[in-house]
Amino acid sequence: QVRLVESGGGLVQPGGSLRLSCAASGSISSINVMGWYRQAPGKERDLVAHISSGRTTNYADSVKGRFTISRDNAKNTVYLQMNSLKPEDTAIYYCHADLIATHGGRYAYWGQGTQVTVSS
Protein backbone atom coordinates (compact mmCIF):
# COMPACT_ATOMS: atom_id res chain seq x y z
CA GLN A 1 0.00 0.00 0.00
CA VAL A 2 2.81 2.44 0.85
CA ARG A 3 5.58 3.21 -1.59
CA LEU A 4 8.68 5.36 -1.33
CA VAL A 5 10.09 6.36 -4.68
CA GLU A 6 13.49 8.05 -4.90
CA SER A 7 14.84 10.10 -7.75
CA GLY A 8 17.71 12.44 -8.52
CA GLY A 9 20.73 10.21 -8.18
CA GLY A 10 23.45 10.09 -10.76
CA LEU A 11 27.06 10.83 -11.58
CA VAL A 12 28.58 14.16 -10.59
CA GLN A 13 32.08 15.58 -10.38
CA PRO A 14 33.68 16.47 -7.05
CA GLY A 15 32.42 19.85 -5.92
CA GLY A 16 29.17 19.44 -7.80
CA SER A 17 25.61 19.23 -6.57
CA LEU A 18 22.67 16.87 -6.71
CA ARG A 19 19.17 17.03 -5.33
CA LEU A 20 17.47 13.83 -4.25
CA SER A 21 13.72 13.50 -3.91
CA CYS A 22 11.62 10.85 -2.22
CA ALA A 23 7.86 10.76 -2.58
CA ALA A 24 5.72 8.64 -0.30
CA SER A 25 2.35 7.47 -1.52
CA GLY A 26 -0.40 5.11 -0.47
CA SER A 27 -2.52 4.66 2.64
CA ILE A 28 -0.79 7.28 4.76
CA SER A 29 -2.37 9.21 7.58
CA SER A 30 0.73 11.13 8.63
CA ILE A 31 4.50 10.91 8.40
CA ASN A 32 6.44 11.40 11.61
CA VAL A 33 10.03 11.37 10.40
CA MET A 34 11.55 11.16 6.95
CA GLY A 35 15.21 10.69 6.33
CA TRP A 36 18.05 9.66 4.12
CA TYR A 37 20.57 6.91 4.73
CA ARG A 38 23.45 5.78 2.59
CA GLN A 39 25.48 2.65 2.15
CA ALA A 40 28.83 2.48 0.42
CA PRO A 41 30.34 -0.80 -0.76
CA GLY A 42 31.62 -2.83 2.17
CA LYS A 43 30.14 -0.48 4.75
CA GLU A 44 27.05 -0.39 6.92
CA ARG A 45 24.05 1.74 6.16
CA ASP A 46 24.46 5.06 7.95
CA LEU A 47 22.19 7.99 8.65
CA VAL A 48 22.76 11.01 6.44
CA ALA A 49 19.98 13.26 7.67
CA HIS A 50 16.43 13.15 8.92
CA ILE A 51 13.66 15.62 9.49
CA SER A 52 10.67 15.42 11.81
CA SER A 53 7.12 16.51 11.17
CA GLY A 54 7.97 19.66 13.13
CA ARG A 55 10.92 20.38 10.80
CA THR A 56 13.59 19.46 13.34
CA THR A 57 16.65 18.23 11.45
CA ASN A 58 19.67 16.12 12.22
CA TYR A 59 22.74 15.54 10.09
CA ALA A 60 25.70 13.25 10.09
CA ASP A 61 28.86 15.17 10.94
CA SER A 62 30.33 14.27 7.58
CA VAL A 63 27.65 16.19 5.68
CA LYS A 64 26.97 19.16 7.94
CA GLY A 65 27.27 22.42 6.07
CA ARG A 66 27.05 20.69 2.71
CA PHE A 67 23.71 18.86 2.69
CA THR A 68 20.27 20.22 3.46
CA ILE A 69 17.20 18.11 4.14
CA SER A 70 13.70 19.48 3.70
CA ARG A 71 10.16 18.20 3.30
CA ASP A 72 6.93 19.14 1.62
CA ASN A 73 4.15 17.70 3.74
CA ALA A 74 1.48 18.46 1.16
CA LYS A 75 3.31 16.20 -1.28
CA ASN A 76 4.60 13.67 1.28
CA THR A 77 8.02 14.31 -0.16
CA VAL A 78 11.46 14.69 1.38
CA TYR A 79 14.43 16.26 -0.38
CA LEU A 80 18.16 16.17 0.10
CA GLN A 81 20.13 18.99 -1.45
CA MET A 82 23.74 17.89 -1.70
CA ASN A 83 26.41 20.50 -2.41
CA SER A 84 30.19 20.38 -2.49
CA LEU A 85 30.06 16.67 -3.14
CA LYS A 86 33.10 14.56 -2.40
CA PRO A 87 34.13 11.13 -3.66
CA GLU A 88 33.47 9.73 -0.20
CA ASP A 89 29.81 10.67 -0.64
CA THR A 90 29.53 7.92 -3.24
CA ALA A 91 26.93 5.43 -2.05
CA ILE A 92 23.45 4.13 -2.54
CA TYR A 93 21.10 6.58 -0.88
CA TYR A 94 17.95 5.21 0.72
CA CYS A 95 14.84 7.09 1.68
CA HIS A 96 13.17 6.19 4.96
CA ALA A 97 9.83 7.11 6.45
CA ASP A 98 8.32 6.49 9.87
CA LEU A 99 4.60 6.91 9.34
CA ILE A 100 1.08 6.27 10.55
CA ALA A 101 -1.09 4.37 8.12
CA THR A 102 -4.73 5.22 7.56
CA HIS A 103 -5.84 2.31 9.77
CA GLY A 104 -3.80 3.69 12.67
CA GLY A 105 -0.75 1.45 12.67
CA ARG A 106 2.81 2.76 12.77
CA TYR A 107 5.24 1.48 10.17
CA ALA A 108 8.71 2.12 8.86
CA TYR A 109 9.31 1.99 5.12
CA TRP A 110 12.36 2.08 2.91
CA GLY A 111 12.82 3.08 -0.68
CA GLN A 112 14.79 0.86 -3.02
CA GLY A 113 17.72 3.27 -3.16
CA THR A 114 19.28 5.56 -5.71
CA GLN A 115 22.94 5.54 -6.69
CA VAL A 116 25.05 8.65 -6.18
CA THR A 117 28.52 8.56 -7.67
CA VAL A 118 31.00 11.39 -7.18
CA SER A 119 33.95 11.01 -9.50
CA SER A 120 36.06 12.99 -11.92
Residue 1's pLDDT is 80
CA dist 45 and 94 (Å) reads 9
pLDDT beyond 90 at 82: yes
Residue 11's pLDDT is 98
CA dist 115 and 112 (Å) reads 10
Residue 82's Cβ-side half-sphere holds a number of Cα atoms within 13 Å equal to 33
CA distance to 19, 49, 77, 89, per residue, from 62 (Å)? 17, 10, 24, 9
Region 59-63: mean pLDDT is: 98
Model confidence at 60, pLDDT cuts 50, 70, 90, reads very high
pLDDT digits (tens, 9 = 90+) for 66-77: 999 999 999 999
- Share above pLDDT 90 across residues of the chain, in percent, rounded to a whole number: 99
CA dist 49 and 72 (Å) reads 16
